[in-house]
Structure 1
Amino acid sequence: MRPAPVTVPLLFALIVVLVLGVTPSIGAAEGVGKPPVPVLGPEGDAFYTPPSPLPAGRPGDVIRFRPIAVPPQLGASRPAARGYLVMYLSRTATGAPNAVTGTIFVPLGRHPATVPILGVAPGTLGIGDQCAASKSLAKGLLFTDFYLDDVLRRGWAAAVTDYEGLGTPGDHTYVVGRSAGRALIDVVRAAQRLPVAGLRSSAPVGFYGYSEGGGASAWAAQLQPAYAPELDVVGVAAGGVPADMYTVARFLDGSLAAALLGYAAIGLNAAYPDLRLDSYLSPYGKTVIAALRTSCTADGLAPYVFTRISRLTTTDPLATAAWQRRLSQNSLGRRAPGAPVFLWHGVFDEVLPFSQADALRRSWCKLGAQVTWRPFVAEHVTGAIGSADALAFLADRFAGRALPAPNC
């Protein structure tokens, strides 16, 4: 069999890595050892298997990458861009080094050193490896879902995380705040440090997400001042945020979106094995959790509508001190974000109750955060309409316009 021809982007990447050398930007002094030299990764699912052992380096250092095509949008024009699949170093919820994948898009038509960078946190896609955002984005899907067409049209670079364990080995740490926030911060660092992207380390940065992504964006906002102080974060947009994990869990019990409880249980157990999820499950619960582990939202949610915790377990984990402690550790509002925040939520949200998002707003305001709060007459899915206002808010921050008065 003849080897596949080397494409122009791939050849260009080889030249940069092998001839021009690699000069990653210097970020916060977290992590030890010489930064890894990004290498061209294999095609297909092999890309998602991290090297063992992981290379030494800092969170955000790129382990491997591949140029990817940016497919045209059907029925409309998609802004021209260069795309890269990346694997980068990050940190787990407990601080251990890990490898996360993501996708970086750089708009054409502007010098890459002049563009801002938006860290994009996907909403709930599922927890099976096939659900990773990068796998759909490489096929031209999800651009509209994540407003990436609008982002690229505005001339911004986009750095989209897959999160820990989504695509890569192990369970996805669904709604585990420190894991998600670090993965989002570090995909922005990876965008800055990938030489072929050409983005600058001093570029203004924003974070954006809705639902699961809203939680990740909010966590990135809280973590960034200490975790990544070198980033010039000018604005954060977080919508449909799961802020109080215990309140959300009780709200979801027996609801239309009850399967999200299973996702969250799997995610928390992956981050904190001391929770011993299997020891709480009934035989039926073990069957459900096994099915959810390989599911995406399209096939994972519908079979378990109105399912109650009592049917899945022999003992209610939410009534135990161990689970309550971990849920508390993954609830937002104890630290003020370091940048202005656009926070929005649907007042009729049937998945993530409005009251707990409003409580987050009040907590951040008491801590002195600059919060622009926007309730929408919407439920959870239609609440995503707030993304248009959120991107306008971020556009003003990137342009250096005056911040509207916080409406705490």
Structure 2
Amino acid sequence: MRKIIGSTSAALAVAVGAALLAPPAAQAAPAYPFADPDPFYAAPADVGARADGDVLASRPVAATGYPTADAWQVKYKSTNSAGAPIAAVTTVLVPRGTPANRPLVSYQPFVNALGLECAPSHQLFTGGLQEAPALNALLARGWAVAVPDHLGPTSAYGAAKLGGRLVLDGVRAAQRLPEAGLGGSPVGLAGYSGGAMATNWAAALAPTYAPELNIVGAAEGGTPVNIGELADRLGGTRSQAFGLGFAAAIGLEREYPTRSPLGDGLNDEGLALRAQMSNMCTDSILGAGAGKSLPDLTNGPGILADPSGRAVMDENSVELYPGVPRTPMFVWHGSADPLVAIGPVQNTVARYCSQGARVQFDVIPGADHGTATMLGAGPAFSYLGDRFAGIPAPSNC
């Protein structure tokens, strides 16, 4: 896996985004993305009558870039943070010639975007998904791979708890797709940075939200586990990556429109930038926000102290969620990561260990947020391979 700007700045994106959640009395409408022009993505009229994880529609697609696999896009039912039914999409890749019920890995890319055309189900086949080498490495092991659009149908970048639900319902949908032959497959979860947020949330939610899934292991690295901590430490800092943080604020506002009306906390420059970014992918977002800061775009101080904004941050901070994963976990982190502090990750792992979880926590000496991506991927995939093989999970709790 090559170093990419999306992984190195995802933590800053969430931090600055969370910092911008400052609801005053009046409310402004969120800046939602343009609807996807492909009717496949639209929710059917009866979506509310379906169970979470039910397949709403599916279609085979050409597996461009994945020459050993057959591929399907699967539309499925899930639930957003307000409890409303939504239609989501995952892409399922199955190596040709492998038996039924081979291992299935749900891989969560770090998606730093607001436009629906930036979703993995599009970028997988256009060359835009920079984690494609990781997917081919998984397929080469004979494993099936599900890649969910874990930001959901409004590209709610930063809404990590939603991402966890979408991962679990995406696994359900992949296993309910008859032609994929995955109904009895053991399941692994994997992701880095923004993808690790969705992965960790999926592992933590699974015991109560999807207890029927046979999740044998989860591997995650560089995980932002506490959005409020990131906001306090990094919010407002001028940076070339500020655009990603602002995009996270827009995404969180989309998921919590009545609790986080971002627009009312912005000055004219902030409102203009929000409108400009609302359909952008990562590179364009970075260019539009380069060198800006929170004070440049907001009306006044006190944003981080707002109780409603804090509640949204806490709701999406897995460190503060009382549930504990029951699947074994491999967690890795760079010791020199300036973006995602290691302390909250250590605290989260310690809590999991104290409540009986089996966690292998590897700290990579000298690695920052970007280099840890590559250095941890190989051990992470080997860890999942051992879980699929039935080898007892190690733990250094």
When normalised by structure 1's length, the TM-score is: 0.82
Q: CA deviation at 1:231?
A: 0.4
Q: In the alignment, is residue 69 of structure 1 matched against residue 62 of structure 2?
A: yes
Identify the residue that residue 249 of structure 1 maps to in structure 2. 231
Mapped partners of 1:121, 1:144: distance in 2:
10
Tell me how far 1:350 sits from its aligned partner: 3.4
Q: Please name the residue that 2:388 is paired with.
A: 398
Matches within 5 A, 1:3-14: none
SS in 2 for 1:238: strand
Which residues of 2 match residues 136-151 of structure 1 at below 5 A?
A: 136-139=123-126, 141-142=128-129, 144-145=131-132, 147-151=134-138
SS at match of 1:150: helix
- In structure 1, how many angstroms separate the alpha carbons of the residues matched to 2:133 and 2:247? 21
Corresponding residue of 2:216: 234
1:225 equivalent among 207, 213, 219 = 207
CA distance in 1, matches of 2:276, 2:101: 46
Q: For 1:147, what is the secondary structure of its paired residue? A: helix
SS of corresponding position for 1:261: helix
Q: 1:191 and 2:174 equivalent?
A: yes
SS at structure 2 position matched to 1:114: coil
Q: Could you report, residue by residue, the CA deviation over 1:269-305 in whole angstroms, capped at 9, with x for unpaired residues?
A: 1221122111111111111222222111112123424
**How do 1:19-38 and structure 2 match up within 5 A?**
none
Cα 1:297–1:345 change in 2 (3 A) is same
- Contact in 2 for aligned 1:93/1:179 (Cα 8 Å): yes
Tell me the residue number matched to 2:88.
100
| Native 8 Å contact 2:273 2:288 kept in 1 | no
Structure 2: how far apart are the matches of 1:55 and 1:332?
27
Residue-pair matches, total: 354
User: Of residues 146, 152, 162 in structure 2, which corresponds to 1:179?
Assistant: 162
Opposite residue 259 of structure 1, the aligned amino acid is G
1:114 to 98, 101, 108: 101
- Matched residue SS, 2:145: strand
Query: What is the CA–CA distance in structure 2 between the aligned matches of 1:370 and 1:53, rounded to whole Å?
Result: 41
Distance 2:287 2:344 in 1: 25
Task: Give the aligned CA root-mean-square deviation in angstroms.
Answer: 2.0
Please tell me the residue identity of whatever aligns with 1:114. Answer: N
Matched, 1:264 2:254: no
Deviation at 1:251, TM superposition (A): 3.3
Tell me what 2:27 maps to.
none
Q: Cα distance, 1:389 vs. partner?
A: 0.9
Q: Structure 1 residue 190: deviation in Å?
A: 0.7
Would you say the 8 A contact 2:150–2:198 is kept in 1? no
Which amino acid in the other structure matches residue 287 of structure 1?
Answer: A
Query: What is the aligned-residue identity percentage?
Result: 37
Q: Give, in whole Å, the separation in 2 of the partners of 1:257 and 1:106.
A: 36
Tell me by how many angstroms 1:71 deviates. 2.0
AA paired with 2:205? L
Cα 1:86–1:149 shift into 2, 3 Å = same
Task: For structure 1, list consecutive stretches of 5 or more residues without a partner in the other structure.
Answer: 1-42
CA distance in 1, matches of 2:193, 2:95: 26
Please state how far the C-alpha of 1:62 moved relative to its aligned partner.
Answer: 1.0
Cα distance change on mapping 1:44 and 1:67 into 2, 3 Å = farther
Are 1:293 and 2:281 an aligned pair?
A: no
Change (3 A) 1:62 1:342: same
Deviations 1:177-209 (A, max 9, x none): 221001011111111111221212x32111111
- C-alpha displacement at 1:235, in angstroms? 0.1
Q: Does residue 1:320 correspond to 2:314, yes or no?
A: no
- Can you list the C-alpha shifts for 1:285-337, whole angstroms capped at 9, x where unaligned? 11122222211111212342443222221144322000011111111133211
Q: Find the structure with the greater CA-based Rg.
A: 1
Give the partner amino acid of 2:342. F
Moved more, 357-366 or 380-389: 357-366
Secondary structure (helix, strand or coil) at the match of 2:38 reads helix
Structure 1 residue aligned with 2:150: 163
Q: CA deviation at 1:247?
A: 1.3
Q: Give, in whole Å, the separation in 2 of the partners of 1:161 and 1:72.
A: 17
Q: Any conservation in 2 of the 1:125–1:133 contact (CA below 8 Å)?
A: no
Residue of structure 2 in register with 1:356 after alignment: 344
1:128 to 108, 111, 115: 115
Q: CA deviation at 1:347?
A: 2.2
The residue that corresponds to 2:140 in the other structure is 153
Match for 1:52: what amino acid?
A: A
Q: Residue 382 of structure 1 aligns with which residue?
A: 371
Establish whether residue 366 from structure 1 lines up as the match of residue 354 from structure 2.
yes
User: Cα deviation per residue 1:83-122 (whole Å; 9 max; x = unaligned)?
Assistant: 00111111112332111112001111212x2301111111
8 Å contact from structure 2 (residues 150, 163) kept in 1: yes
3-state SS of 1:375 partner: strand
Partner SS state of residue 294, structure 1: coil
Match of 1:8 in 2: none
- Amino acid of the structure 2 residue aligned with 1:401: I
What residue identity is the alignment partner of 1:273?
Answer: P
- Looking at structure 2, the residues matched to 378 and 153 of structure 1 have their Cα atoms a distance apart, in angstroms, of 27
Q: Tell me the amino acid that sits aligned with residue 385 of structure 2.
A: A
TM-score (normalised: structure 2): 0.84
Bigger relative contact order, structure 1 or 2 (CA pairs below 8 A, ≥6 apart):
2
Distance in 2 separating the partners of 1:261 and 1:44: 27
In the alignment, the residues of structure 2 paired with residue 313 and residue 395 of structure 1 have an alpha-carbon distance, to the nearest angstrom, of: 48
1:407 aligns with 2:390: no
Q: Decide whether the 8 Å contact of 1:233 with 1:339 is kept in 2.
A: yes
Question: Once the two structures are superposed, what CA deviation does each residue of 1:58-82 show, in whole Å capped at 9, x if it has no partner?
Answer: 1111111110111246xxxx4x111
Alpha-carbon distance, 1:143 to partner: 7.0
The 10-residue stretch of structure 1 (343-352 or 273-282) with the greater mean CA deviation from structure 2: 343-352
- Tell me how far 1:355 sits from its aligned partner: 2.7
Deviates more, 1:267-276 or 1:59-68: 267-276
- Identify if the C-alpha distance between structure 1 residues 144 and 175 changes in structure 2 by more than 3 Å, giving closer, same or farther: closer
CA contact (8 A) 1:122 1:146 kept: no
2-structure distance, mates of 1:89, 1:357: 32
CA–CA separation in structure 2 for the residues paired with 1:70 and 1:141: 14
